[in-house]
Structure 1
Amino acid sequence: MSLVSSGELKQICVIADDAGMSKGQQWAQFLNCPLNPSSLDPYYFRFYIEGERLYVRDQDKRLLEIDFDKNHLDYERKGHRGKQEIIAKALGAAKGCKKVLDLSVGMGIDSVFLTQLGFQVTGVERSPVLYALLSEAFAKTQKEYLKSYKLHFANSLDFLREQNGKIEIDSIYFDPMYPHKKKSSLPKQEMVVFRDLVGHDDDAAEVLKEALKWPVKRVVVKRPIHAEQLLPGVIHSFEGKVVRYDSYVVG
């Protein structure tokens, strides 16, 4: 399968060991890509399956792995303040909002935290590679509060148009990729691979417009603290030190 990222065509293959061969065949078919090719040179991304472990490396050997139990990306946040967390306030936890639709799951960091805070989360991810990694991470996690998580492989814009009125949601959460400025130092390796996989959310404003058509109490967009509003009409902004949560609908 060819993946378009930042205007560049990038290739992927699946590499599975004997213990992971069944999963290798499953995900190679899903990604429509080669399984255990004789040469790795043509492939920018390599999707490794080693028994129960799945991860992705790029040609520069940078690693992206999603494992909620290993917690290397701070999935299990200790000492959180429950409904007093800024993200919980933004999504209306104190107002009785419990069912959240996350339109851009990504590496699952915010989605998992929302579930940890007691929200019932339905997530949408459009990157097939991230969806595969997330699916396996949710399937094998030992954390009981993640067992009820509902993950969908879909473009968020299509999902919003097709599912409006069909599922019960209190609040919608959207964390679009923000066009990052060029920096002299790169972010940690997971973010480099992640950005290469997902590119930019050029349709973010259109997604938000569609989300605002849903019969929900709140639509919340995560933004860098000094970034412009994704669309005008923010009712209230919940600000942290580096990010803020713009609320567009308050019921």
Structure 2
Amino acid sequence: MSLVSSGELKQICVIADDAGISKGHQWAQFLNCPLNPPSVDSYYFRFNVEGERVYVRDQDKRLLEIDFDKNHLDYERKGHRGKQEMIAKALGAAKGCKKVLDLSVGMGIDSVFLTQLGFQVTGVERSPVLYALLSEAFAKTQKEYLKSYKLHFANSLDFLREQNGKIEIDSIYFDPMYPHKKKSSLPKQEMVVFRDLVGHDDDAAEVLKEALKWPVKRVVVKRPIHAEQLLPGVIHSFEGKVVRYDSYVVG
């Protein structure tokens, strides 16, 4: 279970410099946590606001920063194959599917790539800290194709139940988090902080069941290459070396 998305926001504080104090107040209120406390040692996460720069560090000083223009997390993928990309095929790009609902934006890597491929993406993120980082990244990006991105702060299961039939979507994309294998190599620092923030999706199967109730053409689940299907009923799997995209055809 995540330290933060479980509601234990007392484990985070906001640290803002003079140039970022107004923005610091905004996010401290949103996160319901202290702004510039006398001592930061008792807080596992520190949400830093330095002027326009916003990032998170944990107690071990590992950094998580989302900046679509710096491309340090491979946001700008050059040489992509457009509609021939596996993820585009799975989502039905060749069948005219253009409007995608991303149920787990995370650090935005897949969402940004889908937008780069020409999809109109609406994203949902339930971690308040990640939502804050994503909001800042979308607000300051210079990439024109990201200006129309629609980001929502919500639990994906609640969002699906409340918004079914209210927004126009062609395909749904879901990349749930799963427990990290103990024997696997330690990921780079961004992934360590990311996993600590979001934990894993215990309700992934329920989210997929709810997504399959939507009047869309495709529901696509990203899975590790050797993992079992999240739910039976996969029509086709688009397989890469490490991951695959399980496609459920709804209508």
Q: Unaligned 5+ residue runs, structure 2?
A: none
Structure 1 residue 41, shift from structure 2 partner: 1.2
Task: Give yes or no for contact 2:15–2:49 (8 Å, CA) kept in 1.
Answer: yes
Match of 2:226 in 1: 226
Q: Within 1, Cα distance between the matches of 2:115 and 2:135?
A: 16
Tell me the alpha carbon deviations over residues 206-232 of structure 1, each in whole angstroms, 9 at most, x when there is no partner.
Answer: 000000000000000000000000001
Q: Find the counterpart in structure 1 of residue 13 from structure 2.
A: 13
Report the counterpart of residue 106 of structure 1 in structure 2. 106
2:47 corresponds to which residue?
Answer: 47
Q: CA deviation at 1:9?
A: 8.1
**Quick one: distance in 2 between partners of 1:216 and 1:37?**
47
Looking at structure 2, the residues matched to 110 and 229 of structure 1 have their Cα atoms a distance apart, in angstroms, of 20
Q: How much does 1:2 deviate?
A: 10
Identity over aligned pairs, percent: 96
Please tell me the root mean square deviation across aligned C-alpha atoms, in Å: 1.9
With over 3 angstroms needed to count, the CA separation of the structure-2 counterparts of 1:10 and 1:25, relative to structure 1, is closer
State the Cα distance separating 1:183 from its structure 2 match.
2.9
Aligned positions, number: 251
Moved more, 176-185 or 23-32: 176-185
**Equivalent position SS for 2:4:** strand
**Does the CA contact (< 8 Å) of 1:6 and 1:200 recur in 2?**
no
Alpha-carbon displacement from aligned partner over 1:104-133 (angstroms, at most 9, x marks no partner): 000000000000000000000000000000
Structure 1 residue ranges without an equivalent (≥5): none
The separation in 1 between residues aligned to 2:236 and 2:7, in whole angstroms, is 35
CA distance in 1, matches of 2:102, 2:24: 28
Aligned equivalents of 2:6, 2:31: Cα separation in 1: 19
Q: 1:29 and 1:240 mapped to 2: Cα distance? A: 42
Q: 1:143 to 1:102 in 2, by over 3 A?
A: same
Give the Å deviation of 1:6. 8.6
Q: Where does structure 1 differ by over 3 angstroms across 4 or more consecutive aligned residues?
A: 1-10
- Secondary structure (helix, strand or coil) at the match of 2:15 reads strand
Q: Deviations over 1:123-162 (max 9, x none)?
A: 0000000000000000000000000000000000000000
Instruction: Indicate the structure whose relative CO is greater, using CA pairs within 8 Å and at least 6 residues apart.
Output: 2
